[in-house]
Structure 1
Amino acid sequence: MTEQQVPERTVQVTVLTLTAMVVGSMVGAGVFSLPRRFAQETGVSGALIAWTIAGAGMLTLALVFQRLAVRKPDLDAGVYAYAKAGFGEFTGFFSAVGYWASACVGNVTYWVLIMSTLGEWIPALGKGDTLIAVVLSSVGLWSFFLLIRRGTKEAAALNRIVTVAKLVPIIVFVLLAAFLLDPAVFADNFRGADYGGSLFEQVSDTMLVTVFVFLGVEGASVYSRHARRREDVGRATLLGFVSVLAIFASVTIVSYGIMPSSQIAELRQPSMAGVLDSAVGSWGTAFVSAGLIISVLGAYLAWSLMAAEVLFVAAKDNDMPGFLARSTDNDVPVNALLLSTSLSQTVLIITMFSEDAFDFALDLTAALTLIPFLLAAGYALKLCLTRETYGGAAASARRGDLIIAVLATVYTAFLLYAAGPKFLLVSLIFYAPATVLFVLARREQGRRVFSPREAAFFALVAAGAVLGVLALAVGWVSL
């Protein structure tokens, strides 16, 4: 299979396939972990508030991506491209790195959860963080690399099939749990146990998991260069979002009617299996486990494609080294895919040293995505304030977009607050060394590496990374 710098022909996909990419990338490991993660932090009332906030906030982000796809049709790989267009090359580079790293770390959660699921029957796999589990996960990691390398079209078609298959067990879970719901248990769980914090704190503590499960809402935007029509990007984003929000909220709420929240909080992951086991018996664990493996592999496929796509488009725009812009005859960005798989492999090894491999990878994935999301929302706000692209538009259209952009910006800023300093410091440990890619790209072009403003920005990032390493070393922050 030969390689070329830029493919002459780009594979085009339909709105249905783009929607499947959005749903496929969102419905993955996170949905199966929702019962325990929510029960650890809040009761039914807090969960309802959390999903209302998360749903409304993520809807504004989905609308931001929809608007930007129409108003800036020349910008591919949206999350990265919007940050660059709005705030400069180096900021765009950091958005690309953050989004790419979040996808790679997110892929690790899939393998950890698969091994944890199988650990129910094979004790040597533990909770997905043992040496044997990491070795088997590594085999799967590189097997998928070889599969995706065969071609984007084949991988996207497989993702559409898997997306349909994996929704079936989740919907069955919701229907069974709703039918078997115990009103008395649900009422006891309405306020939940004594979580030792205010309702605001309880809701804040659920925000990272809601970010994680909604990652992928921007999937159609990231893969926009393959859309047959630009408006299909916005349609796929909204269709995917509405469908998945209903699924996530339902899985969370009906679980509170099966078991006391204190017991749900102690379940091993995937906690959805434990909830169904309590409701219908041991076959429930096997049923959910099979659905999880299908779901996770489908989401892994979608996220692997998107991670490589971000690096590939950034390299085409000269913001990454040229070797990442090489693709095969089948339109696969092979070097970008190789680097993505390598980062996932590194994080997979790190999980062996974490207190809770799945929760660590989940929270880090969400934290890494927050800055790219904030920059995209900020760019939409900037367009409204400067009136760029709104020359002939009605004033009401701009006002509506301005409201959406403000809400999306406030929501993502709140998420950064809710995440706290721990994961921001750990994420900077990823950002700082990744700057070498920016340096290589600038040197390839014979350009000055940093402008004075960029140098100051990098100095802050490097200082944060050093502080993060120090915090890990002395125990201020733990994995």
Structure 2
Amino acid sequence: MEKDTNLAKNSNGIGLSALTATVVTSSIGSGIFALTSDLAHAASPGPALIAWVIVGIGILMLSLSLNNLVMKRPDLEGVFAYAEAGFGRYAGFISGWGYWLSSWLGNVAFATVMMSSIGYFFPIFKSGQNLASILVASIVSWILTYIVNRGVESAAILNAIVTICKLIPLFTFIVFAIILFKGNLFTAMFWNNVSGHFDGGQGIAMQIKNCMMVMMWVFVGIEGAAMMSSRAKKKSDAGRATILGLFCLLLIYILASVLPYGYLTRGQLANINQPAMVYIFNDMVGNWGGTFISIGLIISILGSWLSWTMLPAETMRLMTNRKLLPPIFGRENKKKAPTFSLVLTGFLIQLFLFTLLFTEKAYNFAYSLCTAAIVISYIFVAAYQIKLSWTHIHEEGNTKQLIIGIIAIAFQIVGITLAGLQYVLLCFIAYIPGIFFYAKARKDNGAAHALSKSEWLITVIITAGAIVGILLLVFGMITV
């Protein structure tokens, strides 16, 4: 079953440093620029640091699982392929549909933060979710869809510009945050709750729980190198790049999110305008700082938005190739772009953008849904890691891989349960039309039944979850 992928080289492929950069740049989108305020809402610096350790270990286990699977199953393409290989076609569809949902929901989060950044220069866009913001974001969304439909995939020079625009503002912010750091301010309310009182164990645990969703969101994209493994010079580079990229991300995220606790109080950080980094840096160095971060953020988001416009369409194309969706979803134009999938995804983004008029915290809602959707795919990755390791438990190293898989799946399940199970229920609503398309694909490919008995059972569970989600929404038990 296994190949010696370390020996298989592609002289024209992507090297280790480029793959590591892919992991970093695909994960760093808009989240880090808003991270400090979101984190200050959730916790004081002590619980936040503990939460970073927990999330770091959990994401490390996921990264090690991806590393192992890339090496053991180089024949599989796309994260959802692990679910199909391990648990059947319907599992592959559930994982792939979740990954597709996450991809375009992430673009909605990009839109709200980008408009808030433009609001630094033009106050009419400051909220990021009024009618003016939504109209401009819609125009940008359709322009990017048009560009991708014309066959523009990725250009090295564009990616280099975007990477610079992401990292230079971040490093500049971190340097000034270190210089202006006040140790006494940082330690004054190290464990305290939002009212300024010391929290016992239960209160600290609640603060850690409150950090989980925002921290899991900023690691969406950690699978970037695994997705590019077929183009790597060496397969082993894809796995190493994932681990190196993770440690780079942890260092950047922890410094950028925790150092501001030593510059402003938690209350000030929690109530600062979004994107928080823009206004914190403005306070640190003056107006040029806010301008500097805002310009870098806008260019950064446009680059990420372009990449994540391609990703959902590419996911649908791969699922069509695996006969998990009807052929129309993978139909390509003369430029080899999947036009139908691009337009469908663009329409859904447009629809969701207009719903933000009625959403209290648009950015938080969008990234919470995005994270919940992709966790479904990550759970299948960890589950296949467990199954593959258990199947070959007699082989050297697989006991360790089994433990890694168990920790990875436990982290994803516990994390999403504590931080946002209600968002998973809302994602189930979006699975209903997807199941219809999956059933149609099965019938078109000669299956005797649209769904098997086990698939019907899972469909009933998903539908029941969707109904519960709708009821909770209607009765105000889920706030958006």
If the length of structure 1 is used for normalisation, what is the TM-score?
Answer: 0.91
Match of 1:199 among 199, 204, 207: 204
Count the aligned residue pairs.
463
Residue 293 of structure 1 pairs with residue 298 of structure 2: yes
Partner residue in 1 for 2:6: none
Residue 374 of structure 1 pairs with residue 379 of structure 2: yes
8 Å contact kept, 1:47–1:252: no
- Shift of residue 16, structure 1, vs aligned partner: 4.4
Residue 210 of structure 1 pairs with residue 215 of structure 2: yes
Partner residue in 1 for 2:9: none
Q: 2:74 is paired with a residue of what secondary structure?
A: coil
Partner residue in 2 for 1:113: 113
8 Å contact kept, 1:95–1:372: yes
Residue 95 of structure 1 pairs with residue 95 of structure 2: yes
Partner residue in 2 for 1:144: 144
The one-character-per-residue Cα deviations of 1:290-348 (angstroms, maximum 9, x if unpaired) are 12112212222232232222211111010111122233555533433333322222221
Q: 2:384 is paired with a residue of what secondary structure?
A: helix
Relative to 1, partners in 2 of residues 1:138 and 1:12: Cα closer, same or farther, differing over 3 Å? Answer: farther
- Could you tell me how far apart the structure 1 residues matched to 2:275 and 2:189 are? 20
Identity %: 34
> AA paired with 2:385?
A
> AA paired with 1:130?
N
8 Å contact kept, 2:19–2:241: yes
Unaligned runs of 5+ in 1: 1-10
Partner residue in 1 for 2:391: 386
Residue 187 of structure 1 pairs with residue 187 of structure 2: yes
Residue 221 of structure 1 pairs with residue 226 of structure 2: yes
The one-character-per-residue Cα deviations of 1:67-87 (angstroms, maximum 9, x if unpaired) are 10110111101x211111111
> AA paired with 1:18?
L
- Of the structure 1 ranges 258-267 and 19-28, higher mean CA displacement relative to structure 2 is found in 19-28
Partner residue in 2 for 1:443: 443
Partner residue in 2 for 1:233: 238
The one-character-per-residue Cα deviations of 1:186-210 (angstroms, maximum 9, x if unpaired) are 1224224446761111111111111
- Of the structure 1 ranges 233-242 and 134-143, higher mean CA displacement relative to structure 2 is found in 233-242
8 Å contact kept, 2:22–2:225: yes
Relative to 1, partners in 2 of residues 1:24 and 1:279: Cα closer, same or farther, differing over 3 Å? Answer: same
Q: 1:332 is paired with a residue of what secondary structure?
A: coil
Q: 1:320 is paired with a residue of what secondary structure?
A: coil
8 Å contact kept, 1:188–1:260: no
Partner residue in 2 for 1:324: 329
- Shift of residue 102, structure 1, vs aligned partner: 0.9
Match of 1:357 among 356, 359, 362: 362
The one-character-per-residue Cα deviations of 1:233-275 (angstroms, maximum 9, x if unpaired) are 2133223222111111110111111100011000111011222
- Could you tell me how far apart the structure 1 residues matched to 2:83 and 2:154 are? 30
The one-character-per-residue Cα deviations of 1:402-451 (angstroms, maximum 9, x if unpaired) are 12111111111111222243212211111222222212211221222100
Q: 1:214 is paired with a residue of what secondary structure?
A: coil
Partner residue in 2 for 1:33: 34
- Of the structure 1 ranges 280-289 and 198-207, higher mean CA displacement relative to structure 2 is found in 280-289
- Could you tell me how far apart the structure 1 residues matched to 2:246 and 2:187 are? 29
Partner residue in 2 for 1:19: 20
- Could you tell me how far apart the structure 1 residues matched to 2:129 and 2:399 are? 50
Stretches (4+) displaced over 4 A: 11-17, 328-331
Partner residue in 1 for 2:465: 464
- Shift of residue 365, structure 1, vs aligned partner: 1.0
Partner residue in 1 for 2:264: 259
- Could you tell me how far apart the structure 1 residues matched to 2:45 and 2:454 are? 47
Relative to 1, partners in 2 of residues 1:95 and 1:410: Cα closer, same or farther, differing over 3 Å? Answer: same
The one-character-per-residue Cα deviations of 1:352-400 (angstroms, maximum 9, x if unpaired) are 211111111111111111111111101100111111xx77x42xx1122
- Could you tell me how far apart the structure 2 residues matched to 1:260 and 1:153 are? 44
If the length of structure 2 is used for normalisation, what is the TM-score?
Answer: 0.91
- Of the structure 1 ranges 426-435 and 232-241, higher mean CA displacement relative to structure 2 is found in 232-241
Partner residue in 1 for 2:174: 174
> Alpha carbon RMSD of aligned pairs, Å?
2.0
- Could you tell me how far apart the structure 1 residues matched to 2:64 and 2:336 are? 29
> AA paired with 2:187?
A
Q: 2:323 is paired with a residue of what secondary structure?
A: coil
Partner residue in 2 for 1:315: 320
Partner residue in 1 for 2:430: 430
Match of 2:253 among 245, 248, 252: 248
Match of 2:308 among 300, 303, 307: 303
